[in-house]
Structure 1
Amino acid sequence: MSTETINKEILRGGQFLVKETKCEDVFTLEDLSEEQKMMRDSTREFVDRDVWAHWERFEKKDYKYTEECMRKAGELGLLGVAVPEAYDGLGMGFVSTMLVCDYISGATGSFSTAYGAHTGIGTMPITLYGNEEQKKKYVPKLATGEWFGAYCLTEPGAGSDANSGKTKAVLSDDGKHYLISGQKMWISNAGFCQLFIVFARIGDDKNITGFIVENDPSNGITMGEEEPKLGIKSSSTRQVFFNETKVPVENMLSERGGGFKIAMNALNVGRIKLAAACLDAQRRIIDEATKYANERIQFKTPIMNFGAIKSKIATMATNTYADESASYRAAKNIEDRIAVRQAEGNSHQEAELKGVEEYAIECSILKVAVSEHVQSTADEGIQIFGGMGFSAEAPMESAWRDARISRIYEGTNEINRMLSVGMLVKKAMRGHVDLLNPAMKVADELTGIPSFDTPDFSEVLSEEKDMIAKLKKVFLMVAGSAVQKFGPELEKHQQLLMASSDILIQIYLAESAILRTEKNAKRFGEESQAIQIAMSKLYLYNAVDIIQSKGKEAIVSFAEGDEQRMMLMGLKRFTKYMNNPNVVALRTQIADSVAAENGYHFD
């Protein structure tokens, strides 16, 4: 464990809401080591050469080319970044695995899906839950690309309710095999994988069990045709049918009934990795849209000179900057937590599982925010291209379609919104995050006399940091009152949870952007961060708007009379700027910088 990790306070998951984070304690893309920069650059070079340059092939259902690119990624070591060296992987830290996932995923959703399914839910369950014999037998083949993996969880009647699957596993008479029978659907990589992670129920067990199943058609395994899909055209997606497929008892993954736990923890990792996988897609869309806007002449001038286009480009860049800031902040928190657990004697498996689980709230926040931003970025990319953007001859159309699945993957965004608040409340009840005392202080503040002191906003982003502190009070006010009113029944009030989650999401992303910029302004100088300061201010301004709307929606849904009036007054007080930023000027400043560089240049 590094001295840096030891010397800084590592907040627990969710504590960002009630504890101040120092800018020096957040990790940013500007903190990458030389080794990480080399890994990023080699990944980008591979993607530019073998994936982005051939994006049309992925739109023509060229499944073989997807498989070919996956093999090349394996030869470069990109499939084994997170795999320990003992199993032929690179054994790199969590930030490095995020970095590769980020930059390998930007060119096309088809390849991104194949990569994510293989390295995440195809390989990771064995790495983190397999016994030594299983890891030695299977992980090296997966880490090098000799074999590809797939994950069989979803069934026709079991989607978000993953534990309700009907696939059965029956112990053979001789006790040497389980016979698996059932139907799985939406299985990524099914058409070219050699190994499945399959979830099935033994007897009347409450929870499903995980199994490692080799893909052998002579062993009762058949597949449906490739699914026709809106996007990710060259991602192999098939139904898989098991008919008394024999699986050696030693291929049970973890313990009997442990499958649901494996599935849920795989989703935690998958959520933050999905956020990473949407980042470079946003950058590339911005690059293409900016180049087009700089070159497209209308009314005798490039359309980039029009304020309407500048507004779009500025918002696209600002959202991407905030997404980067929050994703790498959380990734380093996870990496540090893993290091602490290993220093305490936990195994690699235990440390990684618990390290990611600790930040499950942040993982859900990121999954929702970044997947929605990549969709809006792609949508605006089409709009900037105009009629050409709607044409399949330009990459905007495929980017929009590919982005759509990201709001469904790894648990729908609706599920993740409710989970983020639900998990936070549960952490508070366990004493892991003190929400009660801060919420009581906010309640007292609502009935007290407001301070009329003029705060000192002389330092960079000091007013914005003050606003973040006030926005946290909005969440504590709303969530504290809702918990007090509904108690354990809160989970039944889904629209309230979703509104509260939107407040939580905006706080985390806005704060992450501000902390990143503050850190870099202190070490590189404010002048060098002028555009980043503008983006931080613009993101916060937009976040305040969202929080005002969602805060009001939440308050009027459960509070009445004097309580409602008091909370609405509090909402107004906590979202009030002392000095409103000139958002038109901010957008113009950001867009002009992006236009001058002919693309996104803040990573």
Structure 2
Amino acid sequence: MAQETEQKDILRGGQFLVKETASEDVFTPEDFTEEQRMMKDAVMEFNDREIVAHRDRFEAKDYALTEEVMRKAGELGFLSVAVPEELGGLGMGFVSTVLTCDYISSGTGSFSTAFGAHTGIGTMPITLYGNEEQKQKYVPKLASGEWFGAYCLTEPGAGSDANSGKTKAVLTEDGKHYLINGQKMWISNAGFCDVMIVFARIGDDKNITGFIVENDASNGISMGEEEHKLGIRASSTRQVFFNDTKVSVDNMLAGRGEGFKIAMNALNVGRIKLAAACLDSQRRVLSEATKYANERIQFKTPIASFGAIKLKLAEMATSAYAGESATYRAAKNIEDRINMRIAAGNSHQEAELKGVEEYAIECSILKVAVSEDIQNCADEGIQIFGGMGFSEDTPMEAAWRDARIARIYEGTNEINRMLAVGMLVKKAMKGHVDLLGPAQAVATELTSIPSFETPDFSVLFAEEKDMIKKLKKVFLMVAGSAAQKYGDKLEQHQQTLMAAADILIEIYMAESTILRTEKNAKRTSEAEQEVQIAMSKLYLYHAVDIISVKAKESIISFAEGDEQRMMLMGLKRFTKYQNMPNIGTLRKVIAEKVSSEGKYPF
């Protein structure tokens, strides 16, 4: 593992924008080890037996079932995949952590939320920020499922602005405890948690502080009623009230004022895991929709044979394939960075924190892209089912309701869009990603005479990879010009940031999809990857369209006169195909493969 890591050219977070990645350097689902494939099979079997088989009970708000199944997951080790062995976990790598989250999450959004809240933001803050005594006291119980965790950050007045919380922690006169007073809301697992990560402000501190708080009603902790929600109905979600809740000074997590940092880094992990949690949901929705389309006869023909339905199946499969490609690419980048830091002498805590933090941009990209793809996928699933899709008797309407929260928690998609661009700019200012040089090169290219030579696009993906390079120039052109115009006030221009983020997202997703397919075509054959090639080309076609629209919106909003005309001409040049793909044919190839297999087959 370490040798492989050293040999690869591992890009830093955000560098995908300015450096080319070789297909052999990306990790794909086809690269799973035997151990990972066994884990995947075990998790899928558990999901089918314990979650999917009882979907009706979850939808009927059976919170006790959620707790029971979580305990069974703990007994099988699924809650401890990311926990180091010395703390009672399996100590598996980051890819295996993401894989487990992927395949255990598709039964219902209720269980997915409980699982993610416990293993991610409920356990990992202690694992990564706790001192040795705190880790030994709490993590083994959380890893085994003996105890469950919750994460108390959000307040009525503190949502996206997480550091504005009003919950207070006051030191007692003897200096041995803090008294916590305040209100938290939307707390997942609140109804059955044993320990909570609670964020409160000490005095007039600029930043909040984290505390490990055991759930004890006799210690001033009370709960609101279970929230009535659009989806994730059997996920216990309550308000939590603290009234002079006494917490030992030994239970402060990290140091005073370190809470905001803990919260942000925990969310980075949560974002890529949320993307993973949406993947198998997409596969299952597509598989259910395909099965129905093959069986539903109208006008004496299965509706799967109609062009309108083929379009939907093809697009659903393509977005699922793209999400897989990008998520596992980033997961392996994170794992490799963690291994590099451990090899360099960092502790597990330091290595994992810095490894995930390095790819915070990619984590935000994935959170946005995949959460929006599962919503679209579920929506099309309902449409394929027609009137039956609107009924609770089919799984589509629950999938649609459960998908909706994914665009809100772990930071709204609007916040994550702005974060992705903001973090990229900060990395550039620190010298971690060279944006200035490439942006200046694009500006020079805009004023130069374009080449009229016709490149050789006979090799697989030659034109597509050339297009990716040009799309990166679009981002550098738009973001570079906006940064030059607005300077340090760029973050105030949210519409421009949102458009730039959409360009960034589409570049990463399209490139990841193409690199995965190229890698697999090299080790098998282009014929064997025919459908994957079609999906890669179809995804890129849409990405070019989206980027063209978003870039044009930005350009005409902040540029005028000759500058505007020059940038619009550059945009046209950078989004022009030499050989436009026939998307009708691409969709047909994809849909026929999906229909013949009766499921997502990739």
Relative to the length of structure 1, the TM-score reads 0.99
Aligned partners of 2:282 and 2:377 also within 8 Å: yes
Distance in 1 (CA, whole Å) between partners of 2:302 and 2:50 is 32
Distance in 2 (CA, whole Å) between partners of 1:429 and 1:76 is 46
SS in 2 for 1:528: coil
Q: CA deviation at 1:461?
A: 1.1
**Superposed CA offset, 1:217-249 (max 9, x none):** 000000000000000000000000000001111
Distance in 2 (CA, whole Å) between partners of 1:488 and 1:321 is 38
**Superposed CA offset, 1:279-308 (max 9, x none):** 000000000000000000000000000000
**Superposed CA offset, 1:556-596 (max 9, x none):** 11000000000000000000000000000100110000001
Distance in 2 (CA, whole Å) between partners of 1:553 and 1:63 is 46
In the TM superposition, what are the counterparts of 1:238-317 in structure 2 within 5 Å?
Answer: 238-317=238-317
Aligned partners of 2:267 and 2:410 also within 8 Å: yes
Unpaired segments ≥5 residues, structure 2: none
The amino acid of 1:10's aligned partner reads I
Match of 1:25 in 2: 25
* 2:536 matches 1:569: no
* 2:376 matches 1:376: yes
SS in 2 for 1:146: coil
Match of 2:394 in 1: 394
Q: CA deviation at 1:459?
A: 1.2
Distance in 1 (CA, whole Å) between partners of 2:344 and 2:263 is 26
In the TM superposition, what are the counterparts of 1:227-238 in structure 2 within 5 Å?
Answer: 227-238=227-238
The amino acid of 1:138's aligned partner reads Y
Match of 1:157 in 2: 157
Distance in 1 (CA, whole Å) between partners of 2:3 and 2:339 is 11
Match of 1:347 in 2: 347
Distance in 2 (CA, whole Å) between partners of 1:421 and 1:162 is 19
Match of 1:472 in 2: 472
The amino acid of 2:544's aligned partner reads V
Q: CA deviation at 1:264?
A: 0.4
Q: CA deviation at 1:173?
A: 1.2
Distance in 2 (CA, whole Å) between partners of 1:183 and 1:3 is 50
SS in 2 for 1:507: helix
Between 1:338-347 and 1:297-306, the stretch displaced more is 338-347
Q: CA deviation at 1:458?
A: 1.4
Match of 1:416 in 2: 416
Match of 1:223 in 2: 223
Match of 1:452 in 2: 452
Distance in 1 (CA, whole Å) between partners of 2:175 and 2:3 is 51
The amino acid of 2:207's aligned partner reads N
Match of 1:45 in 2: 45
Distance in 2 (CA, whole Å) between partners of 1:369 and 1:79 is 26
How many percent of aligned residue pairs carry the same amino acid?
A: 78
Q: CA deviation at 1:4?
A: 1.1
Q: CA deviation at 1:196?
A: 0.5
* 2:12 matches 1:12: yes
The amino acid of 1:572's aligned partner reads K
Distance in 2 (CA, whole Å) between partners of 1:346 and 1:124 is 18
The amino acid of 1:479's aligned partner reads A
> Structure 1 runs of 4+ off > 3 angstroms?
none
Aligned partners of 2:438 and 2:476 also within 8 Å: yes
Relative to the length of structure 2, the TM-score reads 1.00
Q: CA deviation at 1:599?
A: 0.6
Distance in 2 (CA, whole Å) between partners of 1:52 and 1:534 is 32
Q: CA deviation at 1:3?
A: 1.2
**Superposed CA offset, 1:248-302 (max 9, x none):** 1100000011000000000111111100000000000000000000000000000
Distance in 2 (CA, whole Å) between partners of 1:241 and 1:8 is 50
Match of 2:65 in 1: 65
**Superposed CA offset, 1:193-227 (max 9, x none):** 10010000111111100000000000000000000
Match of 2:361 in 1: 361
**Superposed CA offset, 1:89-127 (max 9, x none):** 000000000000000001110000000000000000000
Unpaired segments ≥5 residues, structure 1: none
Match of 1:336 in 2: 336
* 2:520 matches 1:520: yes
Match of 2:434 in 1: 434
Match of 2:173 in 1: 173
**Superposed CA offset, 1:477-511 (max 9, x none):** 00111111111110000000000100000000000
Q: CA deviation at 1:452?
A: 1.1
**Superposed CA offset, 1:21-46 (max 9, x none):** 00000000000000000000000000
In the TM superposition, what are the counterparts of 1:320-335 in structure 2 within 5 Å?
Answer: 320-335=320-335
Distance in 2 (CA, whole Å) between partners of 1:328 and 1:60 is 34
SS in 2 for 1:239: strand
In the TM superposition, what are the counterparts of 1:90-109 in structure 2 within 5 Å?
Answer: 90-109=90-109
Q: CA deviation at 1:54?
A: 1.2
Aligned partners of 2:2 and 2:340 also within 8 Å: no
SS in 1 for 2:528: helix
**Superposed CA offset, 1:67-86 (max 9, x none):** 11101100110000000001
* 2:132 matches 1:129: no
SS in 1 for 2:370: helix
The amino acid of 1:445's aligned partner reads E
* 2:140 matches 1:140: yes
